[in-house]
Amino acid sequence: MCARLIDGKAHANSLGERIAASLPAFAAQTGRAPGLAVVLVGNDAASEVYVRSKGKMARKLGMDSFEHVLPESAGQEELLSLIAELNADNRVDGILVQLPLPAQLDSLAVISAIDPAKDVDGLHPVSAGRLASGLPGLVSCTPLGCLMLLRSVLGSLAGLDAIVVGRSILVGKPMAQLLLAENCTVMIAHSRTKGLAEKVRRADVVVAAMGQAEMIKGTWIKPGATVIDVGTSRVVRNGRAILVGDVEFASAARSAGAITPVPGGVGPMTIMSLMHNTLIAAHLRKGFAPPRLW
């Protein structure tokens, strides 16, 4: 391996320390800690783990955490009325509804019901619109974490050719907007893209967010490129279930200049970006200038 390993865990820990250090000043002005409300509907095991870890991280940093669990059978009205309560609750600065929701619920309507000032997941159409318009706002956590990692490796990204593989509202689209705002020349690829290998080969920055285990091969990576692997797929190797990314790590690491591992790359940054967004939302809701932590 010749690529530099981008240690998402270490970056996330360091951001967490900066977040925790900024809380006493907020408490001195408001008499409270920033508050994060996480809503889980149903009992999907993976979602339960994510929700628990978000609440645990908020408390570890010194924030208030409010966890709400609704049954799998919950109806749209029940969920919307909980969102309305959380919108009105002054102790709550950020609201995150864990996705995916059970099939009977309309995710877009639920996300759109969140007060945009509390949209710490950055998925509200107002947040997406502000990002696309170049206005400050709350940015989707995973792409924000990816940008923090890219800046830590590259400093300025201006003028670089970037490819984002994946065009979801959660990752691909906001990632492309963030890279554009950094003055990259951005290509967005998706499942209908032709000649993906050739397109990836031209990129100085590769962000892979498609959920296709190890599809991007080392021979696709331009020598010296920076590779951010968002994808997570569970595969069985030698009888053991392991987590792999969208990039074939071992071969890509021979060509890349820097690369994130899976696990231990983007994942820890996603959760810490949520804490970061909660802190920012708490300041903005009070009319305070938010601390600049990265």
What is the set of active-site residues?
A: 54, 98, 121
Q: Which is nearer to ligand NDP, 70 or 196 (CB)?
A: 196
From candidates 65, 226, 260, 270, binder to ligand NDP by CB under 6 A: 270
Work out how close the CB of 141 gets to ligand NDP at its nearest, in angstroms, rounded to a whole number: 8
Longest CA–CA separation in the chain, Å: 56
Pairwise CA distance, residues 261 & 34, whole Å = 31
d(CA 247, CA 261): 9
Q: Which of 54, 118, 124, 167 forms a contact with ligand NDP (CB under 6 A)?
A: 167
- The alpha carbon of 19 is separated from its chain's Cα centroid by a whole number of angstroms, namely 17
Number of chain residues interacting with ligand NDP (CB under 6 A)? 26
Segment (H or E) for 274: helix 266-286
What is the C-alpha to C-alpha distance for residues 105 and 281, in angstroms, rounded to an integer?
Answer: 26
Choice from 267, 272, 273, 274 touching ligand NDP (CB under 6 A): 267
CA dist 260 and 245 (Å) reads 9
Per-residue contact flags (x/-) with ligand NDP for residues 122 to 161, judged by CB under 6 A: --------------------x-------------------
**Residue 60 contacts residue 90 (beta carbons within 8 Å):** no
State whether residue 9 is helix, strand or coil.
helix
CB of 82 to ligand NDP, least distance (A): 24
Q: Is the peptide bond before 71 cis (omega within 30 degrees of 0)?
A: no
The nearer residue to ligand NDP, 266 or 293, going by C-beta atoms, is 266
Which tokens in the block code for residue 228?
A: 């951010």
Strand bridging mode 35-41 / 94-97: parallel
Interaction of residue 73 with ligand NDP, rule CB under 6 A:
no
Which residue number, 167 or 283, has a Cβ lying nearer to ligand NDP?
A: 167
Nearest residue (CB) to ligand NDP, 33 versus 244: 244
Which residue in the set 34, 94, 166, 261 belongs to the binding site for ligand NDP (CB under 6 A)?
166
Of 262, 284, 21, which is closest to residue 149 (Cα–Cα)?
262
Among 12, 38, 157, 165, binds ligand NDP (CB under 6 A): 165
Q: Which of residues 172, 216, 222, 255 is near ligand NDP by CB under 6 A?
A: 172
In contact, 74 and 102? CB cutoff 8 Å: yes
Cβ neighbours of residue 26 closer than 8 Å, sequence gap 6 or more = 33, 34, 279, 282, 283, 288
Give me the least distance between CB of 257 and ligand NDP, in Å please. Answer: 21
Listed residue (58, 255, 281, 265) closest to 145, CA to CA: 265
Q: Min. distance of Cβ 294 from ligand NDP in angstroms? A: 17
The pair of three-digit structure tokens given for residue 202, joined into one six-digit string = 């031209």
- Least distance to ligand NDP, CB of residue 288, Å: 29
Tokens 């593989």 sit at which residue? 165
Under rule CB under 6 A, which residues in 181-240 are in contact with ligand NDP? Answer: 189-193, 196, 209-212, 215, 230-233
Residues that bind ligand NDP (CB under 6 A): 142, 165-168, 170-172, 189-193, 196, 209-212, 215, 230-233, 266-267, 270
